[in-house]
């Protein structure tokens, strides 16, 4: 197949998008750290969560085991905020009056956040269970976690 020089010129790759270009960025729910810089916002959320976690080590710091859950919850909450803002701007329904898939993604993120909140003792039920476990003699964090697992909360 012979191509003219003009046709071959059309086949050149387009230049890369400039840094920060969000033209095709829809709702960011499936974004990675490279494509969605939420680290700064997630870090602010992490700082707030560290202050709110009810269980502390003997020195008053957050238990090391909680740090991972705090990190996951902060990232999840940052994504929820971004997705919720997109849904508020564009609506839950598309132009054909169908529910957008991002609504299901938001629901999943909210459920994930709810689970992390419970793990960290940041829900009313989890705080009650922590209080009951402490009253019944749980003296270590591991004992407390086992009590929560037995009650079906995780």
97 phi-psi bin (left φ>0, alpha ψ -120 to 50, beta other): left
Higher-pLDDT residue of 10, 78:
78
Residue 138 structure tokens? 């749980």
* Arithmetic mean of pLDDT, 127-142: 61
Percent of the chain with pLDDT over 70: 69
- Give me the pLDDT at residue 73, please: 92
- Band of the pLDDT at 139, cuts 50, 70, 90? very low
Nearest residue to 69 (alpha-carbon basis) of 46, 40, 43, 44 = 46
Which residues, 6+ apart, have CB-to-CB distance to 136 below 8 Å?
Answer: 147
**57-88 per-position pLDDT tens digit:** 888 888 888 899 999 999 999 889 888 999 99
**28-64 per-position pLDDT tens digit:** 666 655 555 567 888 899 899 888 888 888 888 888 8
Taking 80 as the threshold, does the pLDDT of residue 144 lie above it? no
């Amino acid at each position: 197949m012979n191509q003219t020089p003009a046709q071959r010129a059309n086949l050149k790759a387009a230049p890369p998008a400039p840094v920060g270009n969000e033209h095709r960025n829809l709702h960011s729910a499936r974004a990675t750290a490279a494509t969605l810089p939420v680290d700064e916002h997630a870090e602010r959320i992490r700082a707030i969560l560290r202050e709110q976690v009810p269980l502390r080590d003997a020195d008053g710091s957050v238990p090391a085991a909680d740090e991972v859950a705090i990190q996951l919850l902060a990232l999840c909450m940052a994504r929820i905020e971004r997705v919720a803002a997109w849904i508020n701007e564009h609506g839950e329904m598309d132009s054909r009056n169908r529910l957008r898939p991002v609504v299901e993604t938001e629901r999943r993120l909210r459920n994930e956040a709810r689970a992390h909140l419970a793990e960290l003792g940041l829900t009313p039920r989890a705080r009650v269970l922590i209080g009951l476990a402490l009253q019944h003699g749980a003296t270590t964090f591991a004992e407390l976690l086992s009590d929560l697992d037995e009650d079906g909360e995780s």
